Structure 1
């Protein structure tokens, strides 16, 4: 506990509301040093047994598991902000809007920082991706919902800053000379890029808009990589590709249910769906295929989230190993498969190619060549992925790649951006 809190006018607050993780940072304006930081997973749990309760972060995950997945677990809330057609969802008999979901996460971080400081925090610089959506209306909807969430969490004054710009300001604190830097922020839902002119003598300047030479992004992140592993490696263990008998013909089980399984946050809808009921028919007419039984057990017992956690673990292991092993064991269910790096690279190749093409076009449009980029500052959890590292090494040279605090650099830079 902080026994000698700094006055409010000496502090600056930055908050990085992320797809997978969210972070708050408090910086001392005099020293430009971070004095407090806290992070949590961007997940929410609304338990059936407590209709008015909402748990956030690790506590949400733990409660969801210990209460046998009875309730609604929500992940990747940030991706819902841009969905202008998605107005609300019913949870425990109440309408819950996307901005209300975001408020829970932002408020939880705010309260942690306030408990440490001993006084309320009224101002915040809030991060936003370079591109929420390429559609103008979705972009406006996302920004409006993000601002609403921050105000409803208790912040009186909210400033928005691009997340890759914030990462650049964090990186600049360690520079000894001027550099033209490509900041690459690879998150769970987006990949954001900025070309920025940085120098140690510029660190105290309040307005850095002229130093932003180019910025942009696309909606590709680590969650898509998890989805590819689920589709290519796991769904065949759940019956995708199995044939069943129908009027004397062999027909392959439809893929509609398996496509839905690529996005675990929607999987709770499958339990009472027509696709799930049809699986009972396919099970009987496939001579009781154990693979089809696997998917029935998975959905009926709400194991999909736990399975994705294992998928994520096996993906992360490939950052250091040439092959990882995915093993998921529950009552009446055992899934096991190897995940060689070569397979992983192949199944993510379309997404990697899309990032490569975007970067090449961004450089060409802004008048830069890869040789004119002095350093590539990589941040975000997906920056540790080997296909990402391989791509950036190929485009800019391995010697130009830099990394800092993968998860906290954006929040620290956000607090610096108002210093």
Structure 2
């Protein structure tokens, strides 16, 4: 059976075509959107799960041979921790968040692994591990979708950003697509194609157009912002070759996660000493705080968790004018609560789409700790990444050499009135149409999969 697979930075979704159009399948209870998170009792149990759930025997044997060391470590973990084969050792989506919140120090938690794909300087073992994380998540999504359908999914179109990373984009894209291809094959897909995510979002929108339009599609995803200028409408909808209709596309690694990081850094980290002073009157170094919240950067998180950072915090504690704030930061690091902080920032961003101010509690860090954040203060803090998003939109228009008839915005962060107002201020009085902020890419991928595989 054919499907469209949105392996997103923030959420995963999978869709199939029905007589009524694209239909997204439930992946977690009745939810069609599964947060892109994974919690494992031990990271090597992720590799073990991939091998156990591979269906193609030849692929499986090659995988088991290639991952011998990790599989031996997984067996040792099971013996030492008395973990039986039928015990649940992996958690996905909202359940992964729940396990992380309850046991942040005890397991391995990963959020938005798509953000890491295409990263420079990754060693072979890093690439293998990312293959395993992605394959494990894809196996889970595919298994749940097939349980709903009662049929096997064998052919899929997977969404991809224009550029996975900003540095050395060609090599980065090649590495990321190789990881996604390898993982999807291990998940059991026999045929895999890729489609730019903004184009997929546009295809979903096109099914509802009654007149031909030139549309600027803006997909503000969790990890990237991607734009495409597309001619679309009834005259174009049934064409298989659409290359002449795609007038321009731009994309960069700046998305909803970057907004969350800015909110966490600018508004939450001062509670942990970020804007405080040393006894000498000099400002507290800020990079260790940004490393804590930059959860979409492997090197930043590795540095935050390193012994060097531990030593730096101990030295700063002796010199801090307000050591109680830095002690709070040291506890956050020890308890691995930095992902929780960034999740809180995301929740604030979502809440401020519908209100002018939001109160957030951080009582899991310390009793009565929290803050109130007004929308205008959030707007100031997210200005740098928002400016990058706007420049991608104007660049796409310039590449196309014409103005769009309308702007179609999708992606979770596109719900923010701050972002919508910024788009209208930057580009002018062009109608802005909201799409299905979470499902448009998966729906468009399903539409395209049906066309190319039938």
Residues of 1 paired with 2:125 and 2:278: CA distance? 36
Contact residue 191 and residue 219 of structure 1 kept, 8 A: yes
Residue 49 of structure 1, CA deviation: 10
Contact residue 183 and residue 194 of structure 1 kept, 8 A: yes
Contact residue 84 and residue 141 of structure 1 kept, 8 A: no
Give unpaired runs (5+ residues) of structure 2.
27-31, 46-73, 75-88
* 1:362 aligned residue: 396
Residue 243 of structure 1, CA deviation: 3.1
- The equivalent position to 1:400 in structure 2, one of 431, 446, 453, is 431
Q: What SS is found at the alignment partner of 2:362?
A: strand
- The equivalent position to 2:198 in structure 1, one of 164, 170, 173, is 164
Contact residue 277 and residue 320 of structure 2 kept, 8 A: yes
Q: What SS is found at the alignment partner of 2:121?
A: coil
Alignment of 1:237-256 (within 5 A): 237-245=271-279, 249-256=280-287
Contact residue 268 and residue 302 of structure 1 kept, 8 A: no
* 1:348 aligned residue: 382
Residue 348 of structure 1, CA deviation: 1.7
Residue 122 of structure 1, CA deviation: 0.9
Residues of 2 paired with 1:230 and 1:33: CA distance? 36
Contact residue 352 and residue 375 of structure 2 kept, 8 A: yes
User: Is residue 184 of structure 2 the alignment partner of residue 184 of structure 1?
Assistant: no
User: Is residue 66 of structure 2 the alignment partner of residue 34 of structure 1?
Assistant: no
Cα distance 1:338–1:253, how it changes in 2: closer, same or farther (>3 A)?
same
Give unpaired runs (5+ residues) of structure 1.
1-7
User: Is residue 416 of structure 2 the alignment partner of residue 385 of structure 1?
Assistant: yes
Alignment of 1:310-321 (within 5 A): 310-321=344-355
- The equivalent position to 1:116 in structure 2, one of 148, 154, 158, is 148
What per-residue deviation string (whole Å, max 9, x for no partner) do you get for residues 106-140 of structure 1? 22111111111212111001111122234221121
Residues of 1 paired with 2:101 and 2:373: CA distance? 26
- The equivalent position to 1:148 in structure 2, one of 179, 182, 205, is 182
Residues of 2 paired with 1:226 and 1:186: CA distance? 13
Q: What SS is found at the alignment partner of 1:130?
A: coil
Q: What SS is found at the alignment partner of 2:369?
A: strand
User: Is residue 241 of structure 2 the alignment partner of residue 207 of structure 1?
Assistant: yes
- The equivalent position to 2:331 in structure 1, one of 297, 305, 311, is 297
* 2:108 aligned residue: 72
* 1:5 aligned residue: none
Contact residue 124 and residue 155 of structure 1 kept, 8 A: yes
> Which has more strand, going by share of residues?
1
Contact residue 47 and residue 64 of structure 1 kept, 8 A: no
> Which has more helix, going by share of residues?
2
What per-residue deviation string (whole Å, max 9, x for no partner) do you get for residues 11-36 of structure 1? x30001111111100113x6544274
Contact residue 164 and residue 176 of structure 2 kept, 8 A: yes
What per-residue deviation string (whole Å, max 9, x for no partner) do you get for residues 316-361 of structure 1? 1221222222321125465322322222222222222222233223
Contact residue 150 and residue 158 of structure 1 kept, 8 A: yes
Residue 306 of structure 1, CA deviation: 1.8
Cα distance 1:32–1:229, how it changes in 2: closer, same or farther (>3 A)?
closer
Residues of 2 paired with 1:233 and 1:119: CA distance? 48
Residue 68 of structure 1, CA deviation: 4.5
Residues of 2 paired with 1:388 and 1:417: CA distance? 29
Residues of 2 paired with 1:394 and 1:151: CA distance? 44
Say which is worse superposed, 343-352 or 325-334, in terms of deviation. 325-334
Residues of 2 paired with 1:68 and 1:126: CA distance? 31
Count of aligned positions: 398
* 2:11 aligned residue: 21
Residues of 2 paired with 1:196 and 1:366: CA distance? 9
Relative to the length of structure 2, the TM-score reads 0.81
Relative to the length of structure 1, the TM-score reads 0.87
* 1:194 aligned residue: 228
Contact residue 293 and residue 338 of structure 2 kept, 8 A: no
Residues of 1 paired with 2:333 and 2:197: CA distance? 36
User: Is residue 77 of structure 2 the alignment partner of residue 43 of structure 1?
Assistant: no
Residue 394 of structure 1, CA deviation: 2.1
Say which is worse superposed, 397-406 or 155-164, in terms of deviation. 397-406
Residues of 2 paired with 1:131 and 1:291: CA distance? 39
Cα distance 1:311–1:406, how it changes in 2: closer, same or farther (>3 A)?
same
